[in-house]
């Protein structure tokens, strides 16, 4: 028997047209010489690395960026040939394989270069970007002296090609521009330490790319807003074009039952019916990223908002229905149904976190269904692919 892509009534829908639109809209506001890194770390913020990478590249993105070596390897194994920058630290012992796979590494220590130099097969040069810490306090060199030392070391060791340099802003998503300005001028000052400025200089994440042209240099790193999500709620009114959330999370009623006054629902029996009520069971739980703190959150069924009642379990969630509805009725946890809409931001607010974390949380157990031109073009299932 031929296998289907998945066998459960819970899935995430990813609208690839929205991803395409956000990349294209960004390119439209950028000067011609400014290139775009599509940031597809963390399985493209939960949306699916290779599908988003392909869509972003077809919309005009020039490069990809991920956080870890394994993420870059995953893209190469799925046939992605575009340049990939690994934004985080990579181990020096992995430098040779990185060069072999044509991956670009982030470097911020002279010692790292010395160790990597021992590993590198000199026939294949390793492309690197030098990370400068201008106030994020995470990774990066902090002085002109270090830049000079590293540049000199690289000029004497042909195993490396210093292709780029970059920094990262801590507060580009804040209405207060003070800290951004401070980091930008530190970066500009430190760039003067290069004898020869690398070919690709970049500093902007989504928030900065959408708000501050003065920090473009010649590339930007576009993450959260490629997925149609605002970098922060406070800057949403300032965004140059409307964002369209790319992800929806859907499920179906698998059981519907009437309970009587006093009957209880779920672990800990935290919910008690106050009268005759209809309860629906959904096949999604905290192992899918639909976490326990979502108790009380509303979901959409039959075009209406209804609450989650009782505790969210590992694999199942119970909701209060307005009336008896057929098993198999679609329930929207994130996205729109009729005139109603539940945004990723609404879930983030309920969870006292940011939209970034919500989409990253949707686990490997949830199949992703890709929509393009109103049709399903691909389905991916991390479990049985
Ligand atoms: C994740 C990340 C980005 C993307 O940031 P968004 O706010 O999602 O646009 C850019 N640069 C670095 C270094 C990152 O780690």
CA distance 109 to 16: 38
Q: Which residue has the tokens 């199949």?
A: 367
Ligand 1, residues 38, 136, 205: which to mutate, most atoms within 8 A of Cβ?
205
**Averaged pLDDT, 318-333:** 98
H helical segments located in the chain: 16-29, 41-45, 49-58, 69-77, 95-100, 110-119, 144-156, 178-191, 206-211, 344-350, 355-361
Q: What is the pLDDT of residue 125?
A: 95
CATH architecture of the domain with range 247-380: Beta Barrel (2.40)
pLDDT above 80 for 385: no
354 lines ligand 1 (CB under 6 A): no
Compute, in angstroms, the gap from residue 222 CA to the centroid of ligand 1.
7
**Averaged pLDDT, 326-342:** 98
231 lines ligand 1 (CB under 6 A): yes
Residues 160-210 pLDDT 10s: 999 999 999 999 999 999 999 999 999 999 999 999 999 999 999 999 999
CA distance 343 to 230: 11
Compute, in angstroms, the gap from residue 37 CA to the centroid of ligand 1.
10
pLDDT above 80 for 123: no
Instruction: Find residue 252's DSSP bridge partners.
Output: 330
Compute, in angstroms, the gap from residue 83 CA to the centroid of ligand 1.
17
Residues 132-151 pLDDT 10s: 999 999 999 999 999 999 99
Compute, in angstroms, the gap from residue 119 CA to the centroid of ligand 1.
29
Compute, in angstroms, the gap from residue 201 CA to the centroid of ligand 1.
15
pLDDT band at 384 (very low <50, low <70, confident <90, very high): confident
DSSP state of 141: B
Reported CATH class of domain 31-227: alpha beta
CA distance 179 to 185: 10
44 lines ligand 1 (CB under 6 A): no
pLDDT band at 27 (very low <50, low <70, confident <90, very high): very high
Ligand 1, residues 107, 210, 223: which to mutate, most atoms within 8 A of Cβ?
223
223 lines ligand 1 (CB under 6 A): yes
Residue 365 region, left (φ>0) first, then alpha (ψ -120 to 50), else beta? Answer: alpha
DSSP state of 60: T
Q: What is the pLDDT of residue 121?
A: 76
Q: What is the pLDDT of residue 264?
A: 98
Secondary structure tally for the chain: helices H, strands E: 11, 21
Residues of the chain with CATH 2.40.37.10: 247-380
Q: Residue 15 in contact with residue 377, Cβ under 8 Å? A: no
Among 114, 124, 177, 267, the active-site one is: 267
Q: What is the pLDDT of residue 1?
A: 84
Cα–Cα distances in Å, from 352 out to 17, 24, 357, 358?
Answer: 29, 32, 10, 10
**Is 267 annotated as catalytic?**
yes
- Closest alpha carbon to 139 in 106, 95, 185: 106
Among 21, 35, 41, 131, the active-site one is: 41
Q: Residue 141 in contact with residue 147, Cβ under 8 Å? A: yes
Residues whose CB is less than 8 angstroms from the CB of residue 160 and which lie 6 or more positions away in sequence, other chains included: 113, 116, 117, 120, 125, 126, 128, 154
Q: What is the pTM of this model?
A: 0.97
Two structure tokens written together for 275: 């009268």
- Closest alpha carbon to 29 in 176, 204, 168: 204
Residues 31-52 pLDDT 10s: 999 999 999 999 999 999 999 9
Three-state SS at 326:
coil
Residues of the chain with CATH 3.20.20.10: 31-227
CA distance 138 to 155: 26
228 lines ligand 1 (CB under 6 A): no
């Amino acid at each position: 028997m031929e296998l289907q892509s998945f066998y459960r009534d819970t899935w995430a829908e990813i609208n690839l047209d929205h991803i395409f639109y956000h990349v294209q809209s960004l390119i439209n506001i950028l000067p011609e010489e400014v290139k775009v890194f599509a940031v597809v770390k963390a399985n493209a913020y939960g949306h699916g690395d290779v599908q988003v990478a392909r869509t972003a590249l077809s919309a005009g993105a020039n490069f990809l960026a991920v956080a870890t070596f394994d993420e870059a390897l995953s893209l190469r194994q799925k046939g992605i040939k575009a340049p990939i920058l690994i934004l985080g630290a990579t181990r020096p012992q992995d430098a040779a394989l990185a060069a072999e796979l044509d991956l670009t590494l982030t470097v911020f220590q002279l010692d790292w270069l010395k160790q990597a130099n021992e590993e590198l097969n000199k026939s294949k040069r390793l492309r690197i970007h030098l990370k400068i810490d201008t106030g994020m306090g995470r990774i990066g060199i902090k002085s002109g002296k270090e830049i000079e030392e590293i540049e000199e070391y690289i000029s004497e060791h042909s195993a490396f090609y210093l292709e780029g340099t970059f920094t990262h802003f801590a507060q580009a998503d804040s209405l207060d521009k003070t800290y951004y300005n401070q980091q930008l001028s530190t970066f500009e000052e430190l760039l003067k330490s290069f004898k020869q400025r690398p070919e690709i200089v970049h500093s902007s994440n989504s928030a900065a790319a959408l708000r501050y042209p003065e920090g473009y240099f010649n590339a930007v790193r576009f993450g959260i807003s490629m997925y149609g999500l605002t970098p922060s709620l406070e800057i949403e009114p300032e965004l140059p074009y409307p964002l369209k959330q790319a992800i929806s999370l859907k499920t179906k009623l698998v059981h519907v039952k009437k309970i009587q006054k006093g009957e209880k629902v779920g672990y800990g029996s935290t919910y008690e019916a106050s009268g005759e009520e209809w309860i629906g069971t959904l096949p999604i739980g905290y192992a899918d990223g639909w976490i326990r703190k979502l108790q009380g959150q509303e979901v959409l069924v039959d075009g209406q908002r209804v609450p989650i009642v009782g505790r969210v379990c590992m694999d199942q969630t119970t909701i209060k229905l307005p009336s008896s509805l057929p098993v198999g009725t679609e329930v929207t946890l994130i996205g729109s149904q009729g005139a109603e809409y539940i945004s990723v931001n609404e879930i983030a607010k309920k969870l006292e976190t940011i939209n970034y974390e919500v989409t990253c949380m949707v686990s490997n157990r949830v199949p992703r269904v890709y929509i393009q031109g109103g049709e399903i073009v691909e389905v991916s299932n991390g479990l049985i692919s």
